Amino acid sequence: MEECRPILNTGLRGFSVATSRISDVDGNTGKLIYRGYLVKDLAVSAGFEEIVYLLLYEKLPNKAELQEFKQALSLERPVPPELIAALKTRPGTALTMDILQAGVSLLAHHDPDLSDRSRATALKVATRLIAKLPTLVAAWDRIRNGKEPLEPFPELGHAANFLYMLTGKVPDEETARFFDVGMLLHAEHTFNASTFAAREVASTRAHMYAAVSAAVGSLSGELHGGANVRVMQMLQKIGSVDKIESYIRQELEAGRLIFGLGHAVYKVDDPRARILAPMSQKMGERTGQPQWYEISSQLEKKAKAAFKKYKGIEIFTNVDFYSASLFYNMGIPIDLFSPVFAISRIAGWTAHVLEEQFADAAPKPVLYRPESQYIGEYCGPEECEFTPLDQR
């Protein structure tokens, strides 16, 4: 019998499963790169639509290309009335990510190009998904609150239009810009769990809706997309700056970590967190809720010091630590934080599906088929002998 090699349940950490030209994370220096560009630079000067174009088309658009792409997104925003009617049959208590995952699958039923598997059509489908997901999320929130969904506002940008469809109010320029940057920062992040799910499904040559549905399902898990939900719940539990130290002590004594601190890849602070922090502060001041930023900033400092002093470890701030208070101060319901993550990350998911199915570079992507080590020796080293039901 072949000798079994020791296998560790590592969640594939440290293993490379494919090549990619889309993004890179340098966890040691805190760099996130989209197709060669540092995200910290893109966040200063670019908008979400530019970044989507970059991820899909592998280059930044010129003015004419960007205008054409924005127009394409705007035209694709409406969702079929049959889908809205279906949402109205769902119980208001349904989980938001379950609604979104079901909605993605239903959108496939209305796509006239589903059987066309060319790259050009795949780009059109990607544009449709990126445009329609915000409409779907906003429509569901209004339906579950007894309101009629709003039609998209064609003259508004992608980020501003979502906030309008959600709240019924056109956001001011600064709020729209902050949300735009928040979406930009969540647009892509290499082979995270949901992106891996999308690529694995895409490797079977399933259509893009199937791959994105799988990605949404992966993102619904609390270890992936729900982190900023738990950050905001933590901030609400703490309630005020004077309760931070007792909260940290309680968590340390219980052997728990602080939500929003620590990351599977970054060994320094997440560069996205440093961009989101001042926006969270400004939004808190503008909305009369400065306490959430104040608690966050003091918690970050004191928790880092406490973990170093009492545990001898350094912990670092991740993207969820400040995105939570930023989105909350924009009036976004806490249970929509993960769907907001999805309507941003759809840009990266679709780019990865395109790369998985249409990559020009060698070697060509192949069907994902990892191995496992069977440890079920229920009958010792021999196979079990089947016993008929009436003799058991």
Which position among 263, 269, 270, 352 bears the catalytic label?
263
Instruction: Give the pLDDT confidence score for residue 261 in this predicted structure.
Output: 93
pLDDT of amino acid 259: 92
Going by the DSSP 8-state scheme, the letter that residue 261 receives in this structure is B
Distances (CA, A) of 277 to 185, 268, 284, 326, 337: 13, 16, 11, 8, 17
Q: Report the C-alpha gap between 327 and 325 in whole angstroms.
A: 6
- Lowest-pLDDT range, 4-13, 37-46, 70-79? 4-13
Section 23-48 average pLDDT: 96
- The DSSP bridge pattern shows strands 23-26 and 31-34 to be antiparallel
Supply the pLDDT for residue 104: 98
**Catalytic annotation present for 158:** no
Please state the separation of Cα 35 from the chain's center in Å.
Answer: 18
Measured CA to CA, the distance from residue 338 to residue 189 in angstroms comes to: 15
pLDDT, one tens digit per residue, over 61-78 is 999 999 999 999 999 999
User: How far is residue 59's CA from residue 51's CA, in Å, rounded to a whole number?
Assistant: 9
Q: What is the mean pLDDT of residues 281-291?
A: 97
Share of the chain above pLDDT 70, in %: 96
Query: Which pLDDT does position 8 carry in this prediction?
Result: 63
pLDDT of residue 1: 38
DSSP class of residue 307? I
Q: How far is CA 47 from CA 178, 201, 352, in A?
A: 10, 29, 20
| CA angle 120–123–128, rounded 5-degree value | 130
Is 263 a catalytic site residue? Answer: yes
Best CA proximity match to 78, nearest among 36, 140, 136: 136
Structure token pair of residue 299: 């918690």
Taking only the tens place, the pLDDT of each residue in 108-129 is 999 999 999 899 999 999 999 9
Helix (H) or strand (E) holding 26: strand 23-26
Which of the following is catalytic: 141, 269, 270, 320? 320
Does pLDDT of 6 surpass 80?
no
With 0-12 / 13-18 / 19 or more C-beta atoms within 10 angstroms meaning exposed / middle / buried, residue 386 is: exposed
Query: Which pLDDT score is estimated for 361?
Result: 54
Residues 73 and 49 sit within 8 Å (Cβ to Cβ): yes
Tokens representing residue 330 in the block: 């924009």
| Closest of 290, 284, 353, 342 to residue 130, by C-alpha | 342
Q: What is the pLDDT of residue 11?
A: 73
Mean pLDDT computed over 366-390? 86
Cβ contact 55:348 at 8 Å = yes
Confidence of residue 5 (pLDDT cuts 50, 70, 90): low
Helix (H) or strand (E) holding 229: helix 227-238
Distance CA 53, CA 131 (A): 13
- Give CA–CA dist 198/214, Å, rounded: 6
pLDDT at 296: 97
- What integer pLDDT is reported at residue 369 of this predicted model? 86
Q: What is the dihedral of CA 161, 163, 167, 172, to 10 degrees?
A: -90
Domains along the chain with CATH numbers: 23-224+332-358 (1.10.580.10), 227-328 (1.10.230.10)
Q: Which H or E element spans position 340?
A: helix 337-358
What would the pLDDT profile of 230-247 be if each residue is shown by its tens digit? 999 999 999 999 999 999
- C-alpha 157/C-alpha 176 separation (Å) is 9
Tell me the mean pLDDT in the region 154-176. 98
